[in-house]
Structure 1
């Protein structure tokens, strides 16, 4: 199998964007979100970080290695020269915590390089259960990607945190290494991995949600055909 470029290049002092998730499976909604975030921030690179699993979520439908394979296929198909696959979280012993990932990246790139971490708006509902979640902005900017159908009524502690770190001018994130929270309105392609797995399991059309190599991989490996407990988006 062809492999995507690995994020083992020299890191410059330009904005670095981390995009973490289960990617179960990776789909065009993820691609649209990465494109929009990179354009908004003017990020030099996007590092895709598949996680082996979350301590707050049920098990995924595909194995970590299968999800990594699909992500590599997607990155190859996208052919974006500034996008990189990273096994940063896959190589760590579970449980995996975002705060630890950001600490490793901050140590790697130094204190002066702007670093942003991209998360989905739905993740904010469980944010108070993340380890040291209020310290995330001590290490990186947090970019919150919203999509159609996501309820924005978050816990009060999250609302207070968002208000204290909110920044509406994306350009200012380039001049600061960390500390801001920015909202990103993603393109209106309403796709979730949960719904996608369900449609595959029920032999329903998935429209243009998947890149052809990813669709072929799912079919060849018989993924998502058995009944499963919905995992992450």
Structure 2
């Protein structure tokens, strides 16, 4: 019988907020999976983080306290250079073996840009891809990605658990329109991001003066 799936949810988490946490939690529930949050060291497709790796990890630990299904994985922070997802998946696959289902969770916008990722077709040899679909218009998907969707589409309640990798799954998640960029802007302006981030995260940011305009 296949082991419980392991899912990965990457990002800069600068700072971690309820949009991240709720999407990861709903994916864990739908997939009946353990989910690891992986903060990136040097993200290849977005601006570099404002906070240091240690600061972002501190906030993630506060956000994840009190539950066990969402876990923290800092392996990308331990590697030098760009945080290429394919390298992370290869490393993790070597640890867990070939048979355990591994799911890479990506937002719908990021998924549309998948063909620009480093060795993107190799991702399907290493993991399933779970697309976090929120309500609203979707970004146009290129033809080479549409071909992969046609070949690899699987239902969440289907037989993908019998395979370690190779399927594309669509996961409907709550559309929380929260962005780390907007939260940083609130903090820089001296406003309170209450109800956008967990209280423990909010208090730590306030006490340390992070993201304030110097």
Asked if 2 retains the 8 angstrom alpha-carbon contact of 1:122 and 1:150, the reply is no
Q: Kindly report which structure 2 residues correspond to 1:30-179, keeping only aligned pairs within 5 A, or say none.
A: 30-43=20-33, 45-76=34-65, 79-148=66-135, 151-179=138-166
**Corresponding residue SS for 1:90:** helix
TM-score normalised to the size of structure 1? 0.84
| Deviates most, 25-34 or 188-197 | 188-197
| Deviates most, 48-57 or 132-141 | 48-57
Which residue in 2 is equivalent to 1:19?
9
Asked if 2 retains the 8 angstrom alpha-carbon contact of 1:170 and 1:182, the reply is no
Matched, 1:225 2:207: no
Which residue in 2 is equivalent to 1:230?
none
Distance change (3 Å), C-alpha of 1:200 and 1:147: farther
Asked if 2 retains the 8 angstrom alpha-carbon contact of 1:14 and 1:114, the reply is yes
| Equivalent position to 2:175, from 161, 169, 188 | 188
Q: Distance in 1 between matches of 2:137 and 2:18?
A: 18
Count of residue pairs the alignment pairs up: 213
Q: How far apart are 1:159 and its partner, in Å? A: 2.2
Q: How far apart are 1:168 and its partner, in Å? A: 2.4
Cα RMSD for the two superposed structures: 1.9
| Equivalent position to 1:28, from 6, 13, 18 | 18
Q: How far apart are 1:163 and its partner, in Å? A: 2.3
Q: How far apart are 1:162 and its partner, in Å? A: 2.2
Distance change (3 Å), C-alpha of 1:14 and 1:188: same
Distance change (3 Å), C-alpha of 1:225 and 1:159: farther
Asked if 1 retains the 8 angstrom alpha-carbon contact of 2:132 and 2:171, the reply is yes
| Deviates most, 187-196 or 143-152 | 143-152
